[in-house]
Amino acid sequence: MRPRVSLTQGVVEGTHDQGAHHFLRLPYAAPPVGDLRWRPPSPPQSWEGVYDASYFGPACPQTRGAIFDLRVSEQSEDCLHLNIWTRTLDRGARQPVMVWIHGGGFVGGAGSEDGLDGTSLSGQGVTVVTLNYRLGAFGYAAHPDIGANFAVLDQIAALKWVAENIEAFGGDPDNVTVFGQSAGAASVRALLSAYRAKGLFHRAILQSAGFEPAASQPKPPGPERTLAATRELFAKLGGDVEAARNASTDEVLALSEALAGIRPPAGQVHTPANLVWTPISDDREVAEGDNFVGWPAEVPVMLGVVDNEARYFLPPNAPVAPEVLENMAKALAGRYAEEVLDLFAASGATTYEALDQLFTTAVFTEPALATLKRFAALNRVVYYYHFGRVSPGFLKSGHLAKHTAEIRYLFGNLSPDEEYDDTDAALSRDVQSAWVSFARTGKPSLPDGSVWPRYGADASGMTIIGDTLQAAPFVGKELTGIIHRLRS
């Protein structure tokens, strides 16, 4: 018999497979279509009879960006759904709840992606939730006539739905971890500063994003680029909000894609710092500056990076002209460009390897360090990891520990065609255990049961994730230190 759950909206019927109950495409808000486009999410509608939650709903409109197989072919603005995996439907189970916000550059991805399947992770005694949120211009348009941060409001609406309904899926509404990678991690950072998010989560994990702006940026990026892109979007859709709301999904999507990024100058490469459709500090939904209004002092945070973030964006071992490396050194290391280039020359790195190290350090690792220091100065409980495991398949392909590499370990979805081995399987179990112990207690564990060292103002530690998880004193690389000097 298929599992059923009664919610305030009505009765839902899921499926049971591999020891887990699956409840998919559960609507957490009304479809944001027609006059509801570019408005805060409205409450979900109720239904009569039994709602079939056995299959994924459509992905939000997108042209690119998904990290893994979406597992759906349909796209629709009626996409504000979430998915749940749990081993128990006992309301008294009070399992930790882990709510994943997917990445994809704010323009792609969905909670249905195969790498995010929660079947394995739910076996660790947690209730796993993934969700869709509006993407591109649909979720991040910003204009005085409409407001901004609709995707952030979607995520808050999903967290409110979880607070009201997750007990029916064995979850504890008073122990919710919000976690995400890349754009998902940046979304978590936005929630820390979101007025309406306070109290809706109790732990937070930021994986490979959600950090301080790159040190090479003269000032934090403001909302100007998003506001300008929205003005252009509306102008091309008829000149005002009403005309834009009446435009077709395809029309908005095409313009969203066309306006999605600032192209780098000739001789440079594109980085995530060039994105346009992102959360912005509007001081209406997301507070300005470093005012973390959505982050109660007792909420611990875990954050980290992977060794070769850049190799997700740069084809492995692609030919890189020396002048490109030189240009990027000037762009990312500023007045220390020559010192950085000398460091690479002394190391014997190829131009591709040097560009990987520079891109990874300037856009991810050094901003993570700056974030650690900021959070420690606020006396927050913070844990830091550095992921460097390279599977046999990723070694062969040259991807190494690229951006997104840790996700399949976390969810326990190591696909055989990517040539993972027994070391990877064991590491996946240890990574799951660490993340789940953090969700359960606020303290991530090592394989021997001890707690990860904290990063703090006095004694700072980190956890290195290679073939195993190992605690270590916090030690930054020389390149990170050079770029970090740009902040002084």
What is the set of active-site residues?
182, 309, 403
The identity of residue 263, as a single letter, is: R
Is residue 381 left, alpha or beta, with left meaning phi > 0 and alpha meaning psi from -120 to 50?
beta
| N-terminal to C-terminal alpha carbon distance within the chain | 63
Q: How far is CA 101 from CA 164, 182, 366, in A?
A: 19, 9, 23
Cβ neighbours of residue 275 under 8 Å, at least 6 residues apart?
105, 106, 260, 261
| Residue 273 to residue 182: CA distance in whole angstroms | 12
Instruction: Please count the residues of the chain.
Output: 488
Who contacts 372 (Cβ-Cβ below 8 Å, separation ≥6)?
Answer: 303, 382, 384, 455, 460
Counting Cα atoms < 13 Å in the Cβ hemisphere of 200 gives 26
Scored b (16 or more CB within 10 A) or e, 2-15 reads: ebebebebeebbbe
Give the relative orientation of helices 224-236 and 249-258 as an angle to the nearest 10 degrees.
140
Two structure tokens written together for 412: 């326990």
User: Residue 439: enclosing H or E segment and its boundaries?
Assistant: helix 422-441
| Nearest residue to 183 via CA among 147, 133, 258 | 133
How many Å separate Cα 155 from the centre of its chain? 12
